[in-house]
Amino acid sequence: MNLAEVLPEGRCRIISAAEEHRDFQSRLYALGLYPGAQVDVLHIAPLGDPLQVRIGHTLLSIRRQEASMVEVEVVDE
């Protein structure tokens, strides 16, 4: 499953992020989207793009295309 597939108010843990795109991967890591990080999907814009996510105390907006490169596993509350 990837981050773009997580429903609003869903919680997940990152497994891998943009393995084949090293430059983009380093940008994601700098934002806190690295393996093991827990992510809460808060909102999805009305047209489906972008997604608003929370990592720790940080709020981010990420495009659906970029979120689809982040592999996650759903975390039970």
Q: What pLDDT, in 10s, does the model give residues 25-68?
A: 888 888 888 899 999 999 999 888 899 999 989 999 999 998 98
CATH 2.30.30.90 fits 3-74, yes or no: yes
Output the six-digit token pair for 37.
Answer: 């990080």
CA 74 – CA 32 distance, rounded (Å): 18
58 has which bridge partners? Answer: 55
Distance CA 55, CA 45 (A): 18
Confidence of residue 72 (pLDDT cuts 50, 70, 90): very high
Domain boundaries of the chain, sorted by first residue: 3-74
pLDDT at position 31, please?
Answer: 85
The pLDDT value given to residue 18: 76
Mean pLDDT to the nearest integer, 7-35: 86
pLDDT band at 77, cuts 50/70/90?
low
